[in-house]
Amino acid sequence: MRGGERCLEVFSELFPDADLFTLLHVPGSVSPVIEAHRITTSFIQRLPGAEQRYRALLPLFPLAIGRFDLRGYDLVLSSSHCVAKGARIPQGVLHLCYCFTPMRYVWDRYDDYFGARASFPVRLLMPPVAAALRLWDRATAARVHHFIAISRFVAERIARCYGRSAEVIYPPVDAQRFKLSEEAGEFYLVVSALTPYKRVDLAVQAANRLGFRLVVAGSGPEERRLKALAGRTVEFLGWRSDPEVAELYGRCRGLLFPGMEDFGIAPLEAMASGKPVVAFGRGGALETVVPWEPGNDAATGFLFSEQTADALADAIRRCEANAHRLNPKTLRAHAETFDRPLFKERIAAWVARRWEEFSR
């Protein structure tokens, strides 16, 4: 249940009788609210090892999404970070897309996924595959009547990649899951999938240099490399349940957020717990973190401008020196402006408005 799944949960509540279509579903992996719907999966579901190796099946995703039969529906709401917005929509059906990003693997973040760290066969084969995926991704944007983006940062990418405009409705943080903590905290925390573009390696390197305790909650393909890089003050917990993650937020000194994200729910979860954020100052973090400076009573964290371990370490030093000036109640109040009930109201109003326009 990461950010995309939490948005889907809200959509499932708004449309309790809706059918869900997805490339792949692992039963029990998402909330009961989602699992209660009728779920149709693609042929990807039946391929050997798909649950563990689905990333390697990326070239098949456009074919898989295009084979869903969506006849008989009035409205399609796609929740898309890869290919969902490319579903074939019958004539006379309204298609609204809540877009997490255009396919980042083949646009802005190609090198993070298929660059020097990838195997030689992948580096050899991916350029023509990526070129074909970009063409498909751009062409199928025409199947969407209206886009909504998760951030201004993503709206700009939609304009650049698709030539389309998008309104912005920020994803939700479920503030009620987190208890306000006014304690200083025991360790710095990373809550993240362990994939290359998340740049968890910077947090590990900064912990090694400064000698502070770092706890990493998450799993992914970078886990082995990161563990080899880590010193004695870094602890990897793997995947943790929602209650366990909430408890970690309450005990931490602050959240480290070193990647360039399209939005990022984790900083808001930390703020809902009353904890400051140390974040790379590009992408979605600029829309969620209010940077500290002398006299700014609304500050919620500390930004660094270069994506290096040295710059992150400097920002952590600033956090150590000034975090006591941040009011935990102010941090929580800021997070609550992104709260789940507000997201639900905004999405419902947007869908209703677009449906009324379409039905005239």
User: What CATH number did the domain enclosing 237 receive?
Assistant: 3.40.50.2000
Residues 76 and 121 in one domain: yes
Residues 291 and 345 in one domain: no
Residues 40 and 25 in one domain: yes
- Among 306, 256, 295, 304, residue whose Cα is nearest residue 276: 256
Residues 252 and 331 in one domain: yes
Residues 328 and 349 in one domain: no
Supply the pLDDT for residue 110. Answer: 66
The parent domain of residue 63 ranges over: 3-172+340-359
Supply the pLDDT for residue 10. Answer: 97
Strand pairing report for 166-168 and 188-191: unpaired
Residues 304 and 191 in one domain: yes
Strand pairing report for 146-149 and 75-80: unpaired
* pTM of the full structure: 0.89
Residues 209 and 95 in one domain: no
Residues 16 and 144 in one domain: yes
Residues 205 and 102 in one domain: no
Residues 167 and 240 in one domain: no
- 10-residue mean pLDDT profile of the chain (360 residues): values are 90 97 93 96 94 87 96 96 95 97 81 72 82 93 97 96 97 95 94 92 98 96 95 96 96 97 95 98 96 93 97 98 96 97 97 95
**In residues, how long is the chain?**
360
Q: Which amino acid is at 209?
A: R
> Which residues are registered as beta bridge partners of 280?
304
Q: Into how many domains does the chain fold?
A: 2
Q: Residue 157 is part of a domain; what is its CATH number?
A: 3.40.50
Cα gap 200→189, rounded to integer Å: 11
Residues 148 and 214 in one domain: no
Residues 145 and 86 in one domain: yes
Supply the pLDDT for residue 116. Answer: 65
